[in-house]
Amino acid sequence: MAYWDWPAAAGADAHRVVLCVHGLSRQGRDFDTLARELSLQARVLAVDVAGRGHSDWLADPMAYQVGTYVADLAKLIMHLREQDPAVRIDWVGTSMGGLIGMALAAQPAFGLRRLVLNDVGPVIQWEALLRIGTYLGLNPSFGSEKEAADHLVAISIGFGPHTPEQWQALSRPMLRERDGRWWLHYDPALALPLRALTDAPDQAAAQQAVKDGEAALWGLYDAITAPTLLLRGAQSDLLTPDTARAMTVRGPRAHCIEFAGVGHAPTLVAADQIAAVRDCLLAD
């Protein structure tokens, strides 16, 4: 598992680490802008979850599941604690990265100090899964970097308004050039577990399986005691207002901040989004 490491600036707290974990089809460089800001006060690590970015691809595609990722990140946390027993670890997780963070934060042994959940909660909307399934794992290739970047922008409208420079920064690490063609950075097979669900012959049973999973996720969420910040795109199709409200009154009673003009998910590039994370994690 590869990860990107921004050392803490001179004079910052050497024992403070922020772990940043991306969404389903993204990679660790999504956090470049946020990491530059947070590294003024803490060391920042942003992982490439298995099958993405510079991390290895899994031999068994059905292992592309949250449980696998939780085990991988648990090993990284243990590695950090071996390096520095006094380390204090905060977590920023976008979408899938938030689900991984919930599973780890629910276990006191991992000692996560604070938790930021970016546009995700225990309830995952079926319609959002269907939308993601329309593009995940299709493995398109493109004749130019610009053509590939334009494709990424087209499927990322939920990120909200960005400047051309910001879109370029978000898109370039998502691409790999090979034999004169441009490809997406991830293993196309990571879509297989999702397709096994969304394309199941018995759709009623598949949707019930998702509902059954929600109960387990709520159990994890309710076990979290770390101070928690919930970020939500006001137009998100994955995290509904009802779920967000429920998350503010149960479990860790997350403080929720919504961003207008954004769907799934805030990219943590805009100044107000960065400030929300910084104020939560680095206020003390």
Closest to 98 in 3D by CA, of 75, 73, 61: 73
pLDDT value for 110: 96
Q: What is the mean pLDDT of the chain?
A: 94
| Cα 196 from Cα 207, distance rounded (Å) | 12
> What whole-number distance in Å separates Cα of residue 279 and Cα of residue 257?
12
DSSP code, position 231:
E
- Over range 30-43, report the average pLDDT: 97
Q: What is the pLDDT, as a whole number, of residue 231?
A: 98
Q: How confident is the model at residue 58 (pLDDT cuts 50, 70, 90)?
A: very high
What are 167-214's pLDDT values in tens digits? 999 999 999 999 899 999 999 999 999 888 888 888 888 788 888 889
Amino acid at position 149, single letter = A
Cα distances (angstroms) measured from residue 272 to each of 94, 170, 217? 16, 18, 29
Q: Over the stretch 73-112, which tens digit does the pLDDT of each residue have?
A: 999 999 999 999 999 999 999 999 999 999 999 999 999 9
Whole-number Å distance between alpha carbons of 124 and 133: 14
Predicted confidence (pLDDT) at residue 128 exceeds the cutoff of 90: no
Look up the pTM and report it: 0.95
Mean pLDDT of 58-80: 97
pLDDT digits (tens, 9 = 90+) for 225-247: 999 999 999 999 999 999 999 99
Q: Which ranges constitute the DSSP H helices of the chain?
A: 32-38, 66-83, 96-105, 126-133, 145-154, 164-171, 192-198, 203-223, 241-247, 271-281
Structure tokens at 40: 């003024």
pLDDT of 125 > 90? The answer is no
DSSP state of 172: G
Rounded to an integer, what distance in angstroms lies between the CA atom of residue 189 and that of residue 113?
A: 34
